[in-house]
Structure 1
Amino acid sequence: MFDHLQTVVAPRLRSLLRVLSIGHFHKKRIVFFSYFGRQYSCNPKYISEYMQKHYPDYEIVWAFKQPQHFKSLEKRNIKTVKYLYPRFLRICLTSKFIVTNSEIPAWFPIMKRQVYINTWHGGGAYKRVGAAYQKETPGKQIRAEIAREMPCIYVSSSKAFTDLTIHQSFHHYGTILSCGMPRNDMLVKQNRPQLVSKIKTYYHLPQDAHILLYAPTYRDSKTASEYLFDCSAIKKALTERFGGNWYFMFRMHYFVIDQLKDKAEYIDASAYPDMQELLYASDVLITDYSSSMWDFALTGKPCFLYATDLKFYDMKRGFYSDIHTWPFPLAENTSELEHCIESFDSEKYSTNVKKHLADLGSYETGHACEYICKFITQNNQ
Structure 2
Amino acid sequence: MKMINGKYLAASLRIRAALLRTVQKIVVAFVKIDREKVVFDHFNGLDVGCNPGYIAKKLSEKYPGLKITWLLAEKYTGSHSSWLTYASTTPLAKAIAIASAKVVVFNTLNSMADWPKKKGQIWIQTGHGSFGIKKIGIDADVKRKELIKREVRKTNIFLSNSRFETGVFMSGFLFRRRQVIELGHARNDIFFNHAQQTAVREDICRRYKIQGKKIVLFAPTHSKGDVAFIKKINVGGLLTALQARFGGEWIFGLRLHPRTRNKMEKRKLSLSNLKGPQIVDLSSHSDMQELLVSSEAVITDYSSGIFDFLLTRRPCFFHLEKQTQIALRRSIYFDFNTTPIPVSSNFDELIQNIELFDMDRFTHGVAAFLEQAGSVENGDAAEKAADLIKKATQGVSVTELRSIYMGEEGPESQPDMPSSFAQEGNPRAPLQSSR
| TM-score, with length taken from structure 2 | 0.79
Q: How far does residue 310 in structure 1 lie from its aligned partner after superposition?
A: 2.7
Structure 1 segment 16-35 matched on structure 2, within 5 A: 17-21=24-28, 22-35=30-43
Identity %: 27
Name the amino acid aligned to 1:364: E
Question: Is the contact made by 1:297 and 1:353 (CA closer than 8 Å) also made in structure 2?
Answer: yes
Provide the C-alpha distance between the structure 1 equivalents of 2:54 and 2:336, rounded to a whole number of angstroms. 30
* Equivalence for 1:144: 148
Cα-to-partner distance string for 1:62-118 (whole Å, 9 max, x where unaligned): 112226625633xx1422122142012112101101111112243111223111111
Cα gap change, 1:68/1:36 in structure 2, threshold over 3 Å: closer, same or farther? closer
Q: How far does residue 225 in structure 1 lie from its aligned partner after superposition?
A: 2.3
Question: Is the contact made by 2:38 and 2:68 (CA closer than 8 Å) also made in structure 1?
Answer: yes
SS of the counterpart of 2:201? helix
* Equivalence for 1:346: 359
* Equivalence for 1:101: 107
Cα-to-partner distance string for 1:261-308 (whole Å, 9 max, x where unaligned): 132252110101211111111000111211111210001111101112
Please point out which of 79, 86, 110 is paired with 2:85: 79
- With 171-180 and 306-315 compared, the bigger mean Cα shift is at 306-315
* Equivalence for 1:357: 370
Provide the C-alpha distance between the structure 2 equivalents of 1:17 and 1:89, rounded to a whole number of angstroms. 6
Provide the C-alpha distance between the structure 1 equivalents of 2:55 and 2:305, rounded to a whole number of angstroms. 19
Provide the C-alpha distance between the structure 2 equivalents of 1:270 and 1:70, rounded to a whole number of angstroms. 14
Cα-to-partner distance string for 1:178-231 (whole Å, 9 max, x where unaligned): 01100000113333111111110000012x211101111101x21512124111
Provide the C-alpha distance between the structure 1 equivalents of 2:315 and 2:166, rounded to a whole number of angstroms. 26
* Equivalence for 1:282: 295
* Equivalence for 2:169: 166
* Equivalence for 1:259: 270
CA RMSD of aligned residues (A): 2.6
Question: Is the contact made by 1:125 and 1:160 (CA closer than 8 Å) also made in structure 2?
Answer: no
- With 101-110 and 367-376 compared, the bigger mean Cα shift is at 101-110
Provide the C-alpha distance between the structure 1 equivalents of 2:87 and 2:326, rounded to a whole number of angstroms. 41
Cα gap change, 1:324/1:77 in structure 2, threshold over 3 Å: closer, same or farther? closer
Provide the C-alpha distance between the structure 2 equivalents of 1:320 and 1:100, rounded to a whole number of angstroms. 24
User: Gapped runs of 5+ residues in structure 1?
Assistant: 1-5
SS of the counterpart of 2:334? coil
Provide the C-alpha distance between the structure 1 equivalents of 2:33 and 2:311, rounded to a whole number of angstroms. 40
* Equivalence for 1:268: 281
Please state if 1:314 is matched with 2:328: yes
Instruction: Tell me the matched-pair count.
Output: 369
* Equivalence for 2:203: 198
Question: Is the contact made by 2:27 and 2:99 (CA closer than 8 Å) also made in structure 1?
Answer: yes
Q: How far does residue 177 in structure 1 lie from its aligned partner after superposition?
A: 2.0
Provide the C-alpha distance between the structure 2 equivalents of 1:70 and 1:248, rounded to a whole number of angstroms. 24
User: Gapped runs of 5+ residues in structure 2?
Assistant: 1-12, 396-435
- With 265-274 and 140-149 compared, the bigger mean Cα shift is at 140-149
* Equivalence for 1:112: 119
- Runs of 4+ aligned structure 1 residues displaced above 4 Å come to 9-16
Provide the C-alpha distance between the structure 2 equivalents of 1:188 and 1:132, rounded to a whole number of angstroms. 32
| TM-score, with length taken from structure 1 | 0.90
Provide the C-alpha distance between the structure 1 equivalents of 2:327 and 2:195, rounded to a whole number of angstroms. 37
Provide the C-alpha distance between the structure 2 equivalents of 1:68 and 1:235, rounded to a whole number of angstroms. 35
Question: Is the contact made by 1:67 and 1:80 (CA closer than 8 Å) also made in structure 2?
Answer: no
Q: How far does residue 43 in structure 1 lie from its aligned partner after superposition?
A: 0.5
Name the amino acid aligned to 1:57: G
* Equivalence for 1:336: 349
Q: How far does residue 151 in structure 1 lie from its aligned partner after superposition?
A: 2.7
Question: Is the contact made by 1:225 and 1:260 (CA closer than 8 Å) also made in structure 2?
Answer: no
* Equivalence for 1:214: 218
Cα gap change, 1:61/1:313 in structure 2, threshold over 3 Å: closer, same or farther? farther
